[in-house]
Structure 1
Amino acid sequence: MSTEIVRLLAQMTETWNAGDSAGYAGLFTEDVDYVTFFGLHLKGREAVEETHRELFKTSIKLGESDGEPQIRRLTDDVAFVVAGGTSSVNGKPDPSRTSVVTMTALRTPEGWRFASFHNTRVSRP
């Protein structure tokens, strides 16, 4: 299970950096709850694709992750995932864009997909 979820995370980075909004959205369940770092709640795969189609026209790319993701199995078909990293803008890492992301991974007939996604910017209190 962990290998498949790590592969799913790698596909997130690949599709994001390729600007592939349909491929990116396809990594989520049809009814995903997706919350951006600024609090926008997208409901469903279609909304994720539509929103990212515009976002992917920018120069924002996902960079290296902050170590191994934490994957906690809740059942045989559900896992809680915590991952993080820093994005780059115009090819340069931007520490102000460091985020931690929490996700719920769900085994579906299509394979593992993310049923929830919540991105939070890392900052000091």
Structure 2
Amino acid sequence: MNNRESNASKEVQAVYEQLLEAWNNQDARGMSDLFTEDGESIGFDGSQSIGREEIFSHLNPIFEHHQTAQFVSKVKSVKFFNSDIALLRAIAGMVPPQSNDINPQVNTHHTLILVKKEETWRIQLFQNTPAQFHGTPELVEQMTEELRAVLRSSK
């Protein structure tokens, strides 16, 4: 990876970190503003929101009526299709309210496609896919332990 790609990778990862920070702070506007105008979010439950305002309208009632779990994540890769399009893959777990440990039942894969417009990276697609690994519980445990290591190092 050359210096330009390294800097771009850091910029892309920073957008992802902002997305999770906004979720963890229950900031629907902060999350939705990270998307392109016609960006798309596919939630853990399969819900689909298209467009910055629809994403906000979907998230805002969730945050207003529920204390959501906190995301803990680890970026697994950033791939560039060209200088203005990137794919970020990460694993994530959630720490429920009043807990200090990850709930393995809601581990997830995060996939983001980001585009750079006017020198700013924005999310075109965010997909939150359950990582249940049906029939292979050892993979759930492996992912959970990897995320617990991130959680421990952040304290």
TM-score by length of structure 2 reads 0.74
Q: Deviations over 1:58-116 (max 9, x none)?
A: 22233321x33310000100011111211122132221111101110100226101101
Q: Which has the higher strand share?
A: 1
Letter aligned with residue 81 of structure 1 = L
Write the mapping of 1:69-80 to structure 2, written as runs, cut at 5 A.
Answer: 69-80=76-87
Counterpart CA distance in 2 for 1:62 and 1:110 is: 30
Q: Radius of gyration: which is bigger?
A: 2
Write the mapping of 1:15-54 to structure 2, written as runs, cut at 5 A.
Answer: 15-54=22-61
Contact 1:60 1:88 in 2 (8 A): no
* Higher RCO (C-alpha under 8 Å, 6+ residues apart): 1
- Moved >3 Å (runs of 4+): none
Task: List runs of 5+ in structure 2 lacking aligned partners.
Answer: 1-7, 135-155
Task: List runs of 5+ in structure 1 lacking aligned partners.
Answer: none
Aligned length: 124
Aligned residue for 1:120, secondary structure, equals strand
Task: Say what the alpha-carbon RMSD is for the aligned residues.
Answer: 1.4
Give the corresponding residue for 1:96.
105
Aligned residue for 2:75, secondary structure, equals coil
Q: Which has the higher helix share?
A: 2
Counterpart CA distance in 2 for 1:7 and 1:55 is: 24
